[in-house]
């Protein structure tokens, strides 16, 4: 009888644990969020007795300091026993202090351990108390450069079974701005910065590639049309090859300087063209960013 699998998702608050546990749920894992560490052995006993559950994932969300010691102890006990019954993995989701501070500022939420001493204090306190768990982890995932979608894709790639991957092949088509960095998870990057730039048309400057006026401007170029036809033809030829190779997700990224006009129009058109034959997710990473320098998209 095959071993059952238990994944414990833990790590720094704000680093992406909720996204991770949702990704496991999408893969068919039985999942529980915010389980008190003291309940971990009882939870696993319940799962062990359930024949229909072979894979489970639990997120340990440390909302009070009293949970830290319990988590260390309970994971250590489970790690030292019953290896013949289940495969235990500990996934630690991490990010730098600077990135976590920025995320808390963006969401305007308080770190659960900050009290009246500020976000950075809460982060540093949590990191110190999670040292043992970090060292026990089977895998540490750093999410500084991960958007939520990228973290989900990573988990699907590394924890999905062959059956999961065969049934969930999808195409991620995205736009981005080179000025904000190249997407770390892109399989194919297509640079459209050579095309004429809507930014220089005052009436189009604040619009995006999803707006009709910008759309018409971009596709009025013969170069844009020819380049799109060449690229889309290649991509349509490649997709079955990637799927046959066992890849679960192919990320195609169109880039211009700011990610607002040209790349958006290209990504949207390709998404529409592929949607009839493939599961397609369209994502415009930098479309809402405001220009903070003299760099032009």
Residue 17 lies in a domain: yes
Residue 124 lies in a domain: yes
Residues 179, 78, single domain; the answer is: no
CA angle 217/203/178 to nearest 5° reads 65
Domain boundary among 119, 143, 165: 165
Residues 130, 194, single domain; the answer is: no
Residues 109, 245, single domain; the answer is: no
Residue 179 lies in a domain: yes
Residues 13, 156, single domain; the answer is: yes
CA angle 3/132/21 to nearest 5° reads 50
Q: How many distinct structural domains can be found in the chain? A: 2
Residues 84, 174, single domain; the answer is: no
Residues 193, 213, single domain; the answer is: yes
User: Residue 92: what pLDDT?
Assistant: 95
Compute the distance between CA of residue 127 and CA of residue 2 in angstroms, rounded to an integer.
36
Compute the distance between CA of residue 116 and CA of residue 195 in angstroms, rounded to an integer.
52
User: Residue 40: what pLDDT?
Assistant: 82
Per-residue pLDDT for the chain (297 aa), expressed as one digit of tens each? 577 889 999 999 999 999 999 999 888 899 998 888 778 888 888 887 888 888 999 998 766 455 556 677 777 776 666 556 678 899 999 999 999 999 999 988 888 888 888 999 999 988 998 898 899 898 999 999 888 878 887 888 788 765 555 556 889 999 999 999 999 889 999 999 999 999 899 999 999 999 999 999 999 999 999 999 999 999 999 999 988 776 778 999 999 999 999 999 999 999 999 998 998 999 999 998 754 444 444
**At a CB cut-off of 8 Å and minimum separation 6, what does 181 contact?**
145
Residue 293 lies in a domain: no
Residues 48, 68, single domain; the answer is: yes
User: Residue 266: what pLDDT?
Assistant: 98
Residues 71, 180, single domain; the answer is: no
User: Residue 60: what pLDDT?
Assistant: 85
Range of the domain at 214: 169-284
210 to 61, 90, 118, 268, 290: CA distances (angstroms): 39, 42, 40, 7, 16
Residues 202, 226, single domain; the answer is: yes
Residues 151, 186, single domain; the answer is: no
User: Residue 244: what pLDDT?
Assistant: 74
Domain boundary among 115, 131, 165: 165
Compute the distance between CA of residue 79 and CA of residue 114 in angstroms, rounded to an integer.
31
Compute the distance between CA of residue 92 and CA of residue 131 in angstroms, rounded to an integer.
11
User: Residue 99: what pLDDT?
Assistant: 94
Helix (H, G, I), strand (E, B) or coil at 183: coil
Domain boundary among 132, 165, 198: 165
Residues 117, 192, single domain; the answer is: no
Residue 294 lies in a domain: no
User: Residue 81: what pLDDT?
Assistant: 61
Residues 280, 192, single domain; the answer is: yes
């Amino acid at each position: 009888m095959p071993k059952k699998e238990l994944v414990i998702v833990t790590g720094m608050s704000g680093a992406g644990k909720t996204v991770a546990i949702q990704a496991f749920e999408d893969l068919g894992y039985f999942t529980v969020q915010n389980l008190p560490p003291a309940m971990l052995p009882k939870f696993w006993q319940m799962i062990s007795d359930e024949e229909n559950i072979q894979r489970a994932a639990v997120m340990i969300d440390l909302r009070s300091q009293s949970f830290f010691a319990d988590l260390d102890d309970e994971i250590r006990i489970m790690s030292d026993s019953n290896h013949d019954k289940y495969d235990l993995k500990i996934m630690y989701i991490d990010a730098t202090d600077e990135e976590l501070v920025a995320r808390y500022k963006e969401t305007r939420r308080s770190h659960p351990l900050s009290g009246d001493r500020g976000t950075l204090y809460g982060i540093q306190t949590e990191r110190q108390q999670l040292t043992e768990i970090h060292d026990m982890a089977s895998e540490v995932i750093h999410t500084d450069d991960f958007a939520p979608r990228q973290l989900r894709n990573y988990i699907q790639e590394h924890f999905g079974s062959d059956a999961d991957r065969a049934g969930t092949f999808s195409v991620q088509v995205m736009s981005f701005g080179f000025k904000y960095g190249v997407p770390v998870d892109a399989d194919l990057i297509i640079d459209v910065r050579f095309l004429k730039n809507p930014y220089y048309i005052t009436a189009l400057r604040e619009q995006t590639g999803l707006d009709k006026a910008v759309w018409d401007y971009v596709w009025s170029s013969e170069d844009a049309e020819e380049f799109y036809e060449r690229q889309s033809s290649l991509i349509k030829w490649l997709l079955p090859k990637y799927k046959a190779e066992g890849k679960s997700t192919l990320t195609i990224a169109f880039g211009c300087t700011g990610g607002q006009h040209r790349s958006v129009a290209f990504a949207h058109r390709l998404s529409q063209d592929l949607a009839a034959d493939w599961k397609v997710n369209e994502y415009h990473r930098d479309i809402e960013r405001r220009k903070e320098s003299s760099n032009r998209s």
